[in-house]
A and B are shown apart, each in its own frame.
Chain A
């Protein structure tokens, strides 16, 4: 499979100083309150994986492990919606104790989805005793838009927001064999968001 071009824009809005010690960690959580979509756990996992690799790698607590350990405080209907809600949540001894055990310094809330639009084209496939093949052309556009809000668990404040928007046109020409040229918008959005978040959390 070949990849076609993707255009990615990253916007950062900083509202406070950041920095992280080696014994502190970050948890990345997907927002799932919206009625018509939900942030995919694969994307959240991808951002976490990228942040925990390479130079200035950060200790990331996997989302599922965190949500299960904190059950029932981080379910879609019970999770805090604002950084100020953390104060009330941490007043619960059991929650504060678990947060300390994990060493959570920053909580990152990721919200967004990938939308596919502009599907056009026509592909015709034929299968017969002598073989088969396809002929035609299809194309569509993917737009991945994700917001990441960073909460400082020490100061109980929202310290910044990073937005990533990646768009790309995919093509599917078929001359006997379909040759997909897929724009990897979600992967690019994940890579760019993770890189920006890593710098942000490290205070760079």
Chain B
């Protein structure tokens, strides 16, 4: 077997990439479960009892990245990491947090309000496609707060972004995982620091 690399040592990496790509394609879709640990935010607690409802769409959220030819390439599962993140953030934000199984759960009567996070959009940018030496993840959320009767108290959009540089010997999966963890931390920081600055939340808190 003869392997020839012309004019540029980049061809070495390109060829290794091509070989790996063909190996991946022969193995089918690569599945990635986002894993990371999230620190507890250092913020002042709001003296409220907040119920939180994670619906099935959030718990089992996954995103499929397609190749340029439309083939399924990488399946990114981030539902569990989102739950872990909110479970780390919410107890630091509120005096009491109650996880409920549904909006009709009797435990909602013990809470001041019900918080429901929803993922609206998930985007991934890979160095092989953007030609930038970073992995990037964007996530758009819809945050909803309703009272125990289901009436809307606040409804707003939060976007989070995370990136991580390419590194020698770092796999595509590790790069995506790192970028997703940065995006999740970004969500935690903007959500926890900006919560009381949302006009609808301010109105609600002022009327309590």
Contact = CB atoms under 8 A, between A and B. Distances in A.
Contact of B5 (A40, A68, A124): A124
Q: Bin chain B's interface residue count.
A: 20 to 34
Contacts of A76: 182, 186
B101 interface: no
A17 to B, nearest CB: 31
A98 to B, nearest CB: 6
Interface in B161-187: 161, 163-165, 167, 182, 185-186
B142 interface: no
Interface residues of A, number: 34
A121 B182 CA distance: 38
Contacts of B106: none
A130 B126 CA distance: 40
B43 A121 contact: no
Interface in A75-93: 75-78, 93
Contacts of A120: 7-8
Given A123-B12, A125-B5, A127-B2, A78 B193 contact: yes
Given A38-B163, A73-B42, A94-B43, A122 B186 contact: no
A94 B44 CA distance: 8
B185 A72 contact: yes
Given A71-B42, A71-B189, A38 B2 contact: no
Contacts of A127: 1-3
B186 A138 contact: no
Contacts of B8: 119-122, 138
Contacts of B134: 36-38
Nearest to A136: B5
Nearest to B185: A75
Given A75-B185, A94-B42, A125 B193 contact: no
B3 A125 contact: yes
Contacts of B6: 122
B5 A37 contact: no
12 contacts: A36-B134, A38-B134, A38-B165, A40-B167, A71-B40, A71-B42, A77-B161, A122-B6, A122-B8, A123-B12, A126-B2, A136-B5
9 A-B pairs closest in CB distance: A72-B189, A138-B9, A71-B39, A94-B42, A75-B189, A68-B39, A126-B2, A124-B4, A78-B189
Interface of B: 1-10, 12, 39-44, 132-134, 161, 163-165, 167, 182, 185-186, 188-190, 192-193
